Amino acid sequence: MKNFKITVIGGGTGAFVVLRGLKNYPVDLTAIINVTDSGGSTGRLRSEFGFLPVGDLRQCLAALADDGDDALIKLLTYRFNRGRGLAGHNLGNLILTGLRDLYGSEPKALEKASSIFKITGRVLPVSLFQATLGVVYENGKKVLGEHAIDQPEFGGGLKIKEVFLKPEIKVYKGAADAIIDCDMIVLGPGDIYTSTVPCLLVGGIKTAIKKSKAKVCYVVNLMNRYSQTHNFKASDYLREIEKYLDRKIDVTVVNTSRIPKRVMSSYLAEKATVPNDDLKNEKGLKVIRGDFVRRSVIAKASGDILSRSFFRHDEDKLARALIKILL
């Protein structure tokens, strides 16, 4: 099989799952990661040090770390649940912050971390500049900060009409080069307005994607989030991504298997719903349907105060589907 180059754009658990699956194939992987995270351990470190948020970068390093050395992954994912000033902090976030302080830039810190943790592939920030994520809801209300947007009390059930970065920032050249030089670009899964779209808003990203000859693939979420995508259908996700991407998606991956009852019961308490597959065969769009559900639920780490998705795509099933696109 040809050594294909795949670039994953996004952040959070969505990028983690995609990278975990794809690293088991003979491909050149690059993760281009969102830099607007403002919650939890990442938000505290960002506020105190003034560096780019490290949480999503650290999570992708963990996804690409050597599975043969369990201690490396444990170091990157361990979260303190006690200790004055330490409770809630992720050890991997502290390590990345220390490396950034030592070596003077995020790319150098990530390069050192990649060597230490025996990373397969590359992890790059989408930009080297700080920005705050903002949205405008259908009722005109404006909310600033990724963490605030994730909270249902601010805009739960309302449609998001506009997403913006304040201030506007430029793409990191290494990230743009990786996009231009790859065979496939994977967007999603993950929170569309706080993980994927923020990357597309960075100046120069859309230009790089247009210059690339890569196929652009979008993975539709398994569940709708009440604070962002209440009652979304698969076509709504596609419409929003194409709106901010400013081009058509080539391939969409949609889960069509039933969500386990035990999972649905917990998500119903959060007013979450399943996106209906209403996609039609359109010229230029390939829709890949199948069972992409992970049957086990991820346990929440002790000391983690943030609301996260613990029901995810199956990394192996998703990776197989993505690789087949290139064959």
pLDDT tens profile 39-48: 889 999 999 9
Helix (H, G, I), strand (E, B) or coil at 106: helix
What does the pLDDT read at residue 1? 65
User: Does pTM surpass 0.85?
Assistant: yes
Q: If you average pLDDT over residues 224-239, what whole number do you get? A: 95
Q: How far is CA 89 from CA 123, 142, 200, 302, in A?
A: 21, 29, 29, 11
Cβ(86)–Cβ(38) below 8 Å: no
H or E segment and range at residue 23: none
Closest to 9 measured CA to CA, from 150, 171, 146: 171
Q: Tell me which amino acid residue 81 is.
A: N
What does the pLDDT read at residue 306? 45
The ranges assigned to domains in the chain are: 5-326
* Residues in CB range of 152: below 8 A, 6 or more apart: 226, 227, 270, 271
Q: Which superfamily is assigned to 5-326 in CATH?
A: CofD-like domains (3.40.50.10680)
Residue keyed to tokens 């390093």:
61
| Higher pLDDT among residues 105 and 304, named by residue | 105
Could you report the per-residue pLDDT of 301-313, keeping only the tens digit for each?
A: 554 444 445 689 9
What does the pLDDT read at residue 182? 98
Say whether pLDDT at 267 is over 90: no
Residue keyed to tokens 């799952």:
17
What does the pLDDT read at residue 151? 82
